[in-house]
Amino acid sequence: MMKIRYPSRREFLGAISASTLLGDQRTEPDLVLYNANILAVDAAQPRAQAVAIAGGRFFAVGSNDDVRRLAKAGTRQVDIGGKTVVPGFIDAHTHPSYAGIRHLRWVDCDLRSIADIQKAIRERAAKTPAGDWVIGFKYDDTKTKEGRKLTRDDLDAAAPAHPVFIEHRGGHTAYVNSLALRRTEISDATADPEGGKFDRDPATGHLTGGLRENATAPFRKLIPTTFTRDEMRQGVKLISQMMVRTGVTSVHDAEAAPEDLLAYQDAREAGELSFRVYCLMQHQFLDRMIAAGIRTGLGDDWLRVGAVKLVCDGSISERTARLTQPYVGRPTDYGILVSSEEELYANARKAHEAGWQIGTHANGDAAIDIMLRIYERLQREMPRRDPRYRLEHCTVVNPALIGRIRALGAIPTPFSTYVYYHGEKMREYGAERLDWMFAVRSFLDAGIRVTQASDYPPGPFEPMMALQSEVTRTDSHGNVWGARQRVTVEEALRVGTLNGAYASFEEDRKGSITAGKLADLVVLGRDPLKVDPMTLIEIPIERTMTGGRWVYES
Ligand SMILES: [Zn+2]
């Protein structure tokens, strides 16, 4: 027998004060969803059939009979037809504003053949004045069926009258056409720059259009990368629509600049923001924000200032994370540190003193060790209750690091879709290390509130891919990576919802279908607890609701 759960006094007061602010004294639901299979991610009431919503919040959660009884004449009632309903997903580390403006202005090259990429470039060129740049992003040479890299000839054939620049998904390599080479006056006679390389045909020495690392710099200087305030707002609108279609209702922007914060605010005021945003701010703006009296938590349920973002080491997909043991096949390569410990400590201390949450990019075990040492030192020198230090990515761990993360109450935000999507890059870490990468099982077993995070664009953001990746630890080709880190579907659901809310100090406001919380939910086409875990990714997202409003309906 399902018992109805009414809001607690605190939750009820929260709901009332929210509607009072709106000048609205509603004490009856405006919407009831019933005949649903609700997976609430609420330990007090894990399952329910119906939910009532008032003023953008859950008003009551329980059985069909109990909840429908609350409906009044003006209440809309929607039969969910037995479909599964889960809380809206929270992507705890992603780059939505950055991605949105690129989706708006650039060509998405996440396609499965060079022919498809050529088609997309040809279409964009047709709408672009001759001579203007056509720019692509998210190209991945390991994902196209031709089994070779893009060349200048491919790009010339697609857009001979436009300079073309196609960025790799990882960001460190790019591909250009002949007109782009002419614009930079780079020819077969040009020597490779320091720290970079122009790809050449081994037989003729002729440039093939491939650029590595610093060889991309002359092109990046010419590419238009300044966007108007209006374009930034439109980019946010676009990416929020793209993400809510997949069930994401909240994002943590992992590295926002002031123009990103402004773009979110502009989109919100224009009624174009479909998800909620918690903004981790780039550390170079910290002094000015502290001077303005700003710290973590400022904002509201739609847009909030989050942690300050620091960066310690390199990346996983580009194989530059700082490790204590070298990369497989490269015995002297331990990856790179991008900041010194003293510099990181100085920035972290300033933020900690001013009451900021801190989120530091730390992928490799060597980098995580450094950041834990800094966080431990801060707590010794200036103890703060519940600082919720974040370890962004926190990819390669071991039992000793996990013990320290647990003792600090720190929050890891590992890549949720990498095992499934980036399987071909996993070999360089080796099977043994993979047992301790994206270590969701180990974090949960230690009582650590690990989150789900895409890091989009580098990783896909679809929550159903995240679930499949975490539950099966199997890549899209069927290879298993680190099977001991598998979790159950129910655990992955909690990681992707309630734990994400905790990482932004909002677990009392969202992350579960609980009376009094914000009405963010997703209607799924199938029950994730009942399907073959290898098919989780195929579950259709039927509808997404943010704040009591359907922001996506299939
Ligand atoms: Zn990131």
**68 alpha carbon to ligand 1 midpoint, in Å?**
44
What is residue 19's predicted lDDT score, i.e. its pLDDT? 38
Q: Averaged over 156-161, what is the pLDDT?
A: 97
**455 alpha carbon to ligand 1 midpoint, in Å?**
5
- Tell me the C-alpha distance between 309 and 281, whole Å: 6
Phi, psi (rounded to 5 degrees) for 547? 60, 40
- Tell me the C-alpha distance between 299 and 262, whole Å: 12
Q: What is the DSSP letter of 526?
A: S
Q: Averaged over 64-92, what is the pLDDT?
A: 97
Phi, psi (rounded to 5 degrees) for 52? -105, 145
Of the chain, the percentage scoring pLDDT greater than 70 comes to 95
**458 alpha carbon to ligand 1 midpoint, in Å?**
8
Task: Scan for tokens 């374009």, then name that residue.
Answer: 231
Of the chain, the percentage scoring pLDDT greater than 90 comes to 85
**93 alpha carbon to ligand 1 midpoint, in Å?**
6
**171 alpha carbon to ligand 1 midpoint, in Å?**
12
Residue 314 and residue 322 in contact, taking contact as beta carbons nearer than 8 Å: yes
Q: Averaged over 97-117, what is the pLDDT?
A: 96
- Tell me the C-alpha distance between 526 and 157, whole Å: 44
**253 alpha carbon to ligand 1 midpoint, in Å?**
8
Alpha-helix runs per DSSP H in 107-165: 114-126, 152-158
**30 alpha carbon to ligand 1 midpoint, in Å?**
39
**449 alpha carbon to ligand 1 midpoint, in Å?**
19
**169 alpha carbon to ligand 1 midpoint, in Å?**
13
What is residue 330's predicted lDDT score, i.e. its pLDDT? 87
Reply yes or no on whether the pLDDT at 60 is more than 90.
yes
What are the pLDDT digits (tens) for 353-389?
Answer: 999 999 999 999 999 999 999 999 999 999 999 999 9
**92 alpha carbon to ligand 1 midpoint, in Å?**
10
Q: Residue 13 — pLDDT band, cuts 50, 70, 90?
A: very low
Reply yes or no on whether the pLDDT at 100 is more than 80.
yes
- Tell me the C-alpha distance between 47 and 45, whole Å: 6
- Tell me the C-alpha distance between 463 and 494, whole Å: 12
**157 alpha carbon to ligand 1 midpoint, in Å?**
34
- Tell me the C-alpha distance between 33 and 2, whole Å: 16
**470 alpha carbon to ligand 1 midpoint, in Å?**
19
- b/e code 407-431 from CB counts within 10 Å (16+ = b): ebbbbbbbbbbbbbbbbebbeebee
**220 alpha carbon to ligand 1 midpoint, in Å?**
20
More confident residue, 152 or 431: 152
**412 alpha carbon to ligand 1 midpoint, in Å?**
13
Q: Residue 5 — pLDDT band, cuts 50, 70, 90?
A: low
Write down the pTM of the prediction. Answer: 0.90
**287 alpha carbon to ligand 1 midpoint, in Å?**
22
Reply yes or no on whether the pLDDT at 9 is more than 70.
no
- Tell me the C-alpha distance between 95 and 291, whole Å: 26
Alpha-helix runs per DSSP H in 463-539: 463-472, 489-495, 498-503
**393 alpha carbon to ligand 1 midpoint, in Å?**
8
**190 alpha carbon to ligand 1 midpoint, in Å?**
34
- What dihedral angle (degrees, nearest 10) is formed by the CA atoms of 358, 361, 365, 369? -30
Q: Averaged over 529-548, what is the pLDDT?
A: 98
Reply yes or no on whether the pLDDT at 522 is more than 50.
yes
**309 alpha carbon to ligand 1 midpoint, in Å?**
10
**123 alpha carbon to ligand 1 midpoint, in Å?**
30
Mean confidence (pLDDT) of the chain = 93
**474 alpha carbon to ligand 1 midpoint, in Å?**
23
C-alpha distances out from residue 214 to 162, 171, 195, 340, Å? 23, 11, 6, 23
